Structure 1
């Protein structure tokens, strides 16, 4: 039997509605996930890579205390850094921003392939970084500001995530597709289950299990009515039947 992938923490975003401090709502989960490891931060979904890395480092240290956060973009060969990483001492966090830009850049610099290969390396992601952990990036909310070079992603989990999931507002004057309608369009062409993570929610994949935590979510499966999910819901069954 092949080894199970290392833990993955996949956030909708860095903070729930009304929260002023990034990552404070997930401090315990992050502390356990990081376990004192050096954190390689992948900022390629953003624009100013140094500023973004500094922001995340400060935010995490504000919540978790002293932490060794390093910008993966500063490495001469970031893919080689990941290939050589010690899973007992290092982990990776892929930040949010524009998912298409993230897919383009990590495809070009070899990080995408390195992440696919290093299933023994703990993975954390937020927003676009969570999209990259899925089989494809096709359930992102972002505009395709660049040609991503493909839609296939890391595949750390066999289900899709729609981060920042928004429920339809019956009082809104907006007449375009709701988020639910867009996911329904996805299922007209694809069979993979989609978890719509509301702000403050995350998926935790560990030891062959998948759990929703932090906040509520909505599950979409082709041929099924959408389902409301409470924080703490065990979704391990989706690992075996992601398309049902």
Structure 2
């Protein structure tokens, strides 16, 4: 399996411009003038044309030709002909619903496993795990299944923070992920902070960026993962 996949926690870090911090992460995975296909289906509160323009502007330093799958008559053909795939953030449930609606889940998985590079952020990263059961999003629509691309054989939680606002009595993120480990104690969750990403290159998996990640699995709760850690063992857990 020759998977090259970059799972970015977020499209922004702090107050930086849209996708600005991702450029250095993405650059090694592409070449100028390549044709990459963007999948905007997570963008429920934004028009797809506008979403595409945001991505084109944010990733302009890469010199890529970026089109959106919604502008192509044959989505599968567009995927097959693209040099790489971008999948943006927004609502994970809507993203996966649309991928199933257009019969693209297995298609994307097969193309990426055959070597086509994949870059996702937020919801676009969440769908690379076994399922979307550890998304942070509201289930605004019901996909046929929660099963996702399985480019990673575990669960992913992007935008990770365990901050609790003063006076707020809802569950923290760690408490929510604990709930998952109670019903599925054998499946790891890797939680990544904004500004970081998981990079899979074949059988190697690395936490990239300058912030720590966190592991949840069974009785292991919020175990620190050092920035830059080799996480390849989780590809065969």
Taking structure 2 as the reference length, what is the TM-score of the superposition?
A: 0.92
2:178 aligns to what SS in structure 1?
helix
Matches within 5 A, 1:197-212: 197-212=192-207
CA apart distance, 1:6: 2.0
Describe the superposition over 1:92-141 as per-residue Cα deviations: whole angstroms up to 9, x where unpaired.
01100000000111100112121122122111100000011111011100
Asked if residue 14 in structure 1 is aligned to residue 11 in structure 2, the reply is: yes
Aligned counterpart, 1:110: 103
Is 2:97–2:141's contact at 8 Å kept on the other side of the alignment?
yes
Distance across 2 between alignment mates of 1:78 and 1:189? 36
Displacement of 1:217 in angstroms is 1.4
Matched, 1:135 2:130: yes
Instruction: Decide which of 115, 119, 125 is 1:124's aligned counterpart.
Output: 119
> Aligned partners of 1:128, 1:16: CA distance in 2, in Å?
16
Q: CA deviation at 1:35?
A: 2.8
Match of residue 172 from structure 1: 166
Q: Which of 19, 32, 41 is the equivalent residue of 1:23?
A: 19
What's 1:98 paired with?
A: 91
SS of residue matched to 1:226: strand
Greater Cα shift, 28-37 or 70-79: 28-37
- Structure 1: any 5+ residue segments left out of the alignment? none
Select which of 66, 81, 84 maps to 1:85: 81
1:44-63 equivalences under 5 Å are 44-47=41-44, 48-61=47-60, 63=61
Q: How many residues align?
A: 230
Structure 2 residue matching 1:39: 3-state secondary structure: strand
Matched, 1:194 2:193: no
Report the CA distance between 1:21 and its aligned residue: 2.3
String of CA shifts for 1:14-66, please: whole Å, max 9, x gaps.
12123x223332322211112333110000001311110110111000x33x2
Q: Is the 8 A contact 2:6 2:199 kept in 1?
A: yes
- Contact 1:5/1:156 (8 A) holds in 2: no
Q: Specify every segment of 5 or more residues in structure 2 that has no aligned partner in the other structure, as ranges.
A: none
CA distance in 2, matches of 1:26, 1:130: 13
| RMSD (CA atoms) | 1.5
Distance in 2 separating the partners of 1:112 and 1:225: 31
Which of 209, 212, 215 matches 1:216?
Answer: 212
Aligned counterpart in structure 2 of residue 181 of structure 1, from 175, 180, 191: 175
